[in-house]
């Protein structure tokens, strides 16, 4: 581990020197790549430098203890020694986490798809609430939300909604939301006061950039244009601007209706299709690597029931990590960082165990 850390430190110093060269600043593409590499290495390098400093302080304290005879001074040195050793141990654990293989998609924007599952209208109502939950969460982190398509029902619910969340590290946090979300509550339409259980499915896909090789053959696509449905205004449902793509090899159908321009909706639909195809490739890779799949905290299996929202008790339970919180109102308003932080910590712990077994 420490050989690797020394190599990373040397590489960081090389980058810093290279960034000051005039030839690099004149090459925007090279400059951008170096800045990205420097940004990725900075947390590891800073932690390693502090680790080395703590170890040096501990060595200095031991040397001073051998020479010091005054008991009061010896106690002070022992305190410094203990603090340095404790901080070094903490940093060593932090460095192990920082050196874990990074998901190449972590820095990407996400395309999210929420579908109403079992429960009819009640499931559609909860799907709309889940959509608002993620919009509020994005707002908390100052991320941008852009709706691609929505299939609404008359009472304020959504059968399905697709949207993009753009922001640094969006996928690194929201990927833990993939799976089946279950709600337990008394529906407004229930006169007998019985608690119903409904579900929605959330899919989180990294937005695919142009450098990812996803080939869509023209012969494999059918493009239909139509008039948008739903709430109107600004020509959205007065012209044939909505676009539906059907991908024959996979049977995937995507739809975009939120823009006034057919060209804009077509671009959004193709972006959604590319992400869905890329997501299918990731699913295949997850299935092929069963051991890796087991080490991850619910970022692969769409059929996995990951969380229950119990309204009568104000309780949210994440089944993957055994976490229960009694702050349902806050969670439904987008306050999900505590859950996501716990998922990330559990995922890292599982990966550390796997790494130590090798």
CATH number for the domain harbouring residue 336:
3.30.70.1660
Phi, psi of 99 (to 5 degrees): -90, -5
248-293 per-position pLDDT tens digit: 888 888 878 877 778 888 888 888 888 888 887 777 766 655 544 4
Can you spell out the DSSP letters for 258-287? Answer: SSSSHHHHHHHHHHHHHHHHHHHHHHHHHH
Q: What is the model's pLDDT at position 177?
A: 94
- Whether residue 117 is predicted with pLDDT greater than 70 in this model: the reply is yes
Does residue 180 lie in a domain region?
yes
Does residue 358 lie in a domain region?
no
Joined together, the tokens standing for residue 329 give: 């109102």
Does residue 27 lie in a domain region?
yes
Same domain for 94 and 172? no
Share of the chain above pLDDT 90, in %: 34
Does residue 132 lie in a domain region?
yes
Q: Are 145 and 165 within 8 A, CB to CB?
A: yes
Same domain for 56 and 146? no
Phi, psi of 282 (to 5 degrees): -65, -40
| Bridge partners (DSSP) listed for residue 246 | 222, 253
Same domain for 29 and 62? yes
Record the pTM: 0.71
Number of structural domains found in the chain? 2
Same domain for 279 and 141? yes
Rounded Cα distance between 178 and 298, Å, is: 7
Measured in whole angstroms, the distance separating CA 107 from the mean position of its chain's CA atoms is: 8
Same domain for 119 and 249? yes
Single residue among 98, 127, 162 that ends a domain in this structure: 98
- Whether residue 232 is predicted with pLDDT greater than 50 in this model: the reply is no
- Whether residue 234 is predicted with pLDDT greater than 70 in this model: the reply is no
Instruction: Specify the DSSP element, H or E, that contains 136.
Output: helix 120-140
Rounded Cα distance between 296 and 289, Å, is: 11
pLDDT band at 18 (very low <50, low <70, confident <90, very high): confident
38-92 per-position pLDDT tens digit: 888 898 899 989 999 999 999 999 999 888 888 888 999 999 999 999 999 989 8
Does residue 12 lie in a domain region?
yes
Report the candidate in 170, 175, 176, 158 with the shortest Cα–Cα distance to residue 114: 158
Q: What is the model's pLDDT at position 31?
A: 86
Boundaries of domain holding 43: 2-98
Same domain for 268 and 329? yes
145-201 per-position pLDDT tens digit: 988 888 888 888 899 999 999 998 899 999 999 999 999 998 876 667 788 899 999
Same domain for 83 and 123? no
Q: Are 169 and 107 within 8 A, CB to CB?
A: yes
Report the candidate in 302, 290, 288 with the shortest Cα–Cα distance to residue 205: 302
305-310/252-256 β-pairing: unpaired
118-161 per-position pLDDT tens digit: 888 899 999 999 999 999 999 999 999 988 888 888 888 899 99
Same domain for 125 and 56? no
Single residue among 98, 118, 147 that ends a domain in this structure: 98
Same domain for 114 and 94? no
Q: What is the model's pLDDT at position 230?
A: 54
pLDDT band at 7 (very low <50, low <70, confident <90, very high): confident
Q: What is the model's pLDDT at position 296?
A: 47
Same domain for 118 and 70? no
Does residue 63 lie in a domain region?
yes
Report the sign of the C-alpha dihedral through residues 291, 296, 298, 300, in that order.
negative
Same domain for 342 and 216? yes
Does residue 105 lie in a domain region?
no
Same domain for 13 and 150? no
Q: Are 153 and 320 within 8 A, CB to CB?
A: no
Single residue among 36, 65, 98 that ends a domain in this structure: 98
- Whether residue 229 is predicted with pLDDT greater than 70 in this model: the reply is no
């Amino acid at each position: 581990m420490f050989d690797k850390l020394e190599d990373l430190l040397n590489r960081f110093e090389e980058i810093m020197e290279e960034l000051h060269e005039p030839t690099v600043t004149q090459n925007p593409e090279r400059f951008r790549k170096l800045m990205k590499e420097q940004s990725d290495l900075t947390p590891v390098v800073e932690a390693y430098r502090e680790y080395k400093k703590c170890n040096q302080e501990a060595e200095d304290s031991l040397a001073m203890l051998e020479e010091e005879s005054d008991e009061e001074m010896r106690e002070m040195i022992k305190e410094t020694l203990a603090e340095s050793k404790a901080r070094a141990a903490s940093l060593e654990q932090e460095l192990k986490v920082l050196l874990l293989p990074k998901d190449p998609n972590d820095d990407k924007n996400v395309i999210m798809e929420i579908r109403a599952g079992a429960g009819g209208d009640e499931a559609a109502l909860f799907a709309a609430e889940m959509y608002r939950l993620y919009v509020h969460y994005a707002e908390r982190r100052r991320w941008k939300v852009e709706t691609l398509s929505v299939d609404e029902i008359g009472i304020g619910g959504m059968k399905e909604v697709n949207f993009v969340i753009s922001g640094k590290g969006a996928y690194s946090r929201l990927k833990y939301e993939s799976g089946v979300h279950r709600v337990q509550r008394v529906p407004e339409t229930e006169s007998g006061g019985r608690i119903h259980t409904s579900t929605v499915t959330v899919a989180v896909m990294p937005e695919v950039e142009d450098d990812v090789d996803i080939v869509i053959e023209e012969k494999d696509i059918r493009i239909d244009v139509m008039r948008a449905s739903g709430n109107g205004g600004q020509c959205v449902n007065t012209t044939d601007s909505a676009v539906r793509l059907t991908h024959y090899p996979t049977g995937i159908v995507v739809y975009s209706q939120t823009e006034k321009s057919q060209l804009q909706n077509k671009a959004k639909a193709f972006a959604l299709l590319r992400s869905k195809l890329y997501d299918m490739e990731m699913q295949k890779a997850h299935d092929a690597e069963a051991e890796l799949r087991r080490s991850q905290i619910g970022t692969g299996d769409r059929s996995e029931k990951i969380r229950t929202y119990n309204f009568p008790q104000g309780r949210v339970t994440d089944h993957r990590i055994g976490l229960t919180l009694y702050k349902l109102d806050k969670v439904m308003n987008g306050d999900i960082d505590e859950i996501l932080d716990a998922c990330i910590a559990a995922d890292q712990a599982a990966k550390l165990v796997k790494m130590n077994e090798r």
